[in-house]
Each structure stands twice: as C-alpha cells, then as structure tokens.
Structure 1
Amino acid sequence: MKDFVLNVVNKLNVAEDKDRVSVVQFSRDPETHFYLNSYTTKDDVLDTVRVLRHKGGRPLNTGAALQHVRDNVFTASSGSRRLEGVPQILILLSGGRSFDNVDVPASALKDMGVLIFTVGSRSSDSRELQRISYEPSYALSVSEFTDLPNVQEQLLNTVEAVTVSVTPASPTPTGMSV
C-alpha cells in the first residue's frame, strides 16, 4: 500500500498552488499523518510517506474515516481549496468490509463535490466500495494489495480524465486514506 501511495504521489505535481496531498490511515479510528497544507514539495510528501507504518487493526470503521476526512482534511484550514473551485479527490484503499455505516459520510463528501475513488482487496465488499465511490465505476478491486500496481495506471488515468473535465486548470489536491 505504501508503494502504491508513493507511486501515485510521484505522478503528481505537488506544490502550494498545484496538487496537495494528505494521508489518513484508519482501522478502528482514523489517524491523519499530514494535511493538504502540511507540505508544499513532492520530496517532503514522499519522505513522510516512506517512514509511515501500516496502521492495521480491527474493526475497520470506514464510515468514521470518511467523516474524519470530511471534517478534518477537506477544510480550508487544512489546505483544501474546494471553495476556490479546485477539484477534491479522495482515493480510499480498503482491506475489508466496514463495521460502521459508510453511506451517510460518503454522501456528505459527494455533496461537497469530493470525487471519491476506491480500491479494495478481496476481503472488501465491492458493493460497499461502489456506494462509497463518486460513481460506481470509480471502485476498483485487487485480489491482494500486492496487485495494486495492476490498477494504478487505470486509477490515475480515470482521476486525470475526471479532473480535466471538472476544471481546465487541473490542479488536483488529493486526500488519500490508506
């Protein structure tokens, strides 16, 4: 999963007036490692992601994580430029079925205009991931997280196509939940 995040960040144009990145991990409780305005260079983001440790644990409260991202990441004080019309992207990696409700927080994020993409492993509920995603087609699956490189290009191409259609300026702040 860490390699996937590193590879995605490597494709971005990270800068204060370009792409912004946040990383939140979750299991029982969400944990924000850094916010959209924490780093303004790709190297700083990559260095921080490289030293992250996988949170792990159960139960998996995806709904709480989505609510946390809505309340704490996609906010102006955390570096979101949503109110300036900059596309907001969330890439959610999930290793299992949520133990809490995902529908209300996912709808709240979508109502804010956040484009949610999901990638789940074999243990995930594909219907749940489709409900979380902005569009059901934005939900991808892999057998194991070691297969993430197989969907990475597809995901990035879809994100790029969607953000270009949302705004021709195409800066894309990205919140990632791992």
Structure 2
Amino acid sequence: MASGFAVLKESVLRAKHVVFLLVDQTAPRKDVVFLLDGSDYTRNAFPAMKDFVQRVVEKLNVMENRDRVSVVQYSRDPEAHFYLNTYTGKEETLDAVRALRHKGGRPLNTGAALQYVRDSAFSPSSGSRRQEGVPQILILLSGARSSDNVDTPATSLKESGVLIFAIGTKNSSREVEKISSDPTYAQSVSDFSELPNVQQQFLASVNTAVLEVTQTSPPVLGKTDLTILLLISSDRLFCGVFIPFCPQCREK
C-alpha cells in the first residue's frame, strides 16, 4: 500500500498539470427490487406497468456504488429477470426493462413471490448491500388478490429490514395496504393505466422513507462518503482539495 502511494506521489510531482475533483458520495444509496404481477389478470395492463418501472428507474441514480435495481415477475411462480448485481449502468438497466415480456399464468401467488424476493432477490449473492447499511426497497405492483397467504412472508420481509411499497388496483388495494411497511406506503388505482397519475407522489414517499432510514442508521465502519478523483491533464490546473504533496496546494 505504501509503495503504491509513493508511486502516485512521484507521478503527481512530475506531472505538468494535475486536476483534483471531489465526488460527493453522501446521497443515500438504494437497492430497489420491483415485484410485478405477471398473471393473466394483468395481460392488458402490463405495458403500463413496464412504463412505470422505466420512469422510476430513470429517476434513480443507477451506477456503480449508487442505486441498484432488480426486476422479478410472478404469477404461479416468481421469475427474476435480473438481479441487483446484474447491471451497473442506467442505460443497460433501462434496456432490460424495455425488453420485459408478460409472463402470464395463474393462480396469483403473491405470498410465494414475497418469500422469493426475501430469500433470493435481497440476498448478498444477488447484490444486496443490506450489510453495508444500504436501504432495501421493494416496490410491488399487484392487480388481483393473492391465492396464497401473504401475511407471513410480508412480515418476514419487514423484519429483515426491507421497506415495502405497493400499488394495487380496486381488486387488490386492501391486500397491498396490508403488505406495505406502512399504510401510507400503499396506493390504489382503478387500473394500471392511471400509474402516471400517482408516480410523483409515490416517488416522493419512497425518497422520504429512504432519507429517514439513512439518517437514523449508524455509519458503517470502513466506508467513506468522499471519493477523490485525480486526473493528469495538459490543460490547466484546478485543485478542489488540499493534498499535502500537491505543488499547487503548497503555494496556497
């Protein structure tokens, strides 16, 4: 480690121009899993559901060490389209969302799907950063009442620290309210074509909850909230932070 630092120091001192940039890493990070009702009940509504996911992802800061996204679709059985660690960039994530196809099938087993995302989608091997203190967010879109029990898996998810947000239709509104971490985290629409009408309020609710969790969580040892990006440039010198071995800093 010391020898590497010495090489960096020597390179900086020999460089004609050095640029130091600060990258703020203090904004809350998020692990977001979308759980989509892909049963026969949502065949006509699925394009609207997919558009909603796309619009939400566009608002996220999807990149390395920032926000991560996963999409799981379910009917009788759950199916992961991609996990939290499958993609690291926003454009490739959006491409994967645009490529989603309706699963189909019945009955609708929401309880089994909730258990699946707890055990698989939010596992460290799938990219979950729960152990680093990163907020775990589940966004459920359900268009019908479940054929199996949802109480036990929903409770298990909440106890594991996952914040559950949900949007349901008139057929599932009471159930998604029960599944959600808080009744205010659930919203109801007559059908999923109305999703654009609730998107802004829904995102505000998610962001507020994430901020509250982040502020009350203890800091994780070994993590840093500041990244220093050093660039060797032949143009001009801009120094955004004091570096002891930087020639320009010593002149300040």
The alignment's TM-score, normalised by the length of structure 1, stands at 0.92
Residue 109 of structure 1 aligns with an amino acid whose one-letter code is L
The partner residue of 1:129 within 176, 180, 202 is 176
Partner of residue 60, structure 2: 12
Matches of residues 88-167 of structure 1 in structure 2 within 5 Å?
88-124=136-172, 126-167=173-214
Please state how far the C-alpha of 1:57 moved relative to its aligned partner.
Answer: 2.4
Pick the structure with greater CA Rg: 2
CA distance in 2, matches of 1:116, 1:56: 24
1:55 deviates by 1.6
CA drift of 1:123 comes to: 2.2
The answer (yes or no) to whether the contact 1:120–1:129 under 8 Å persists in 2 is yes
Cα distance in 2 for residues equivalent to 1:47 and 1:28? 26
| Residues 16 and 37, structure 1, Cα contact 8 Å, conserved in 2 | no
Partner of 2:101: 53
Q: Deviations over 1:92-135 (max 9, x none)?
A: 000100000000100010001100001011221x2211111001
Cα deviations by residue, 1:68-91 (Å, 9 ceiling, x for unpaired): 000101111100001111100000
Which one of 72, 93, 97 corresponds to residue 120 of structure 2?
Answer: 72
Partner AA of 1:26 in structure 2: Y
CA distance in 2: counterparts of 1:155 and 1:127, whole angstroms: 17
Tell me the matched-pair count: 169
- The residue aligned with 1:33 is 81
Give 4+ residue runs of structure 1 displaced > 6 Å after superposition. none
| Structure 1 residues 126-178: Cα deviation after superposition (integer angstroms, max 9, x where no partner) | 2211111001111111111110011111110000011011114xxxxxxxxxx
Code of the residue aligned with 1:66 in structure 2: it is L
- Mean CA deviation greater in 126-135 or 148-157: 126-135
Structure 1 counterpart of 2:187, one-letter code: L
Q: Which residue of 2 aligns with 1:44?
A: 92
Instruction: Tell me, yes or no, if structure 1 residue 62 matches structure 2 residue 110.
Output: yes
> What residue ranges of structure 1 are gaps of 5+ in the alignment?
169-178
CA distance in 2, matches of 1:58, 1:96: 11
Question: For 1:7-43, what per-residue CA distance to the aligned partner results, in whole angstroms no more than 9, with x for missing partners?
Answer: 0000000013111000000011000000000000010
Q: Which amino acid aligns with 2:62?
A: V
Counterpart secondary structure, 1:21 = strand
Paired with 1:97 and 1:159, the residues of 2 have a C-alpha distance of 23
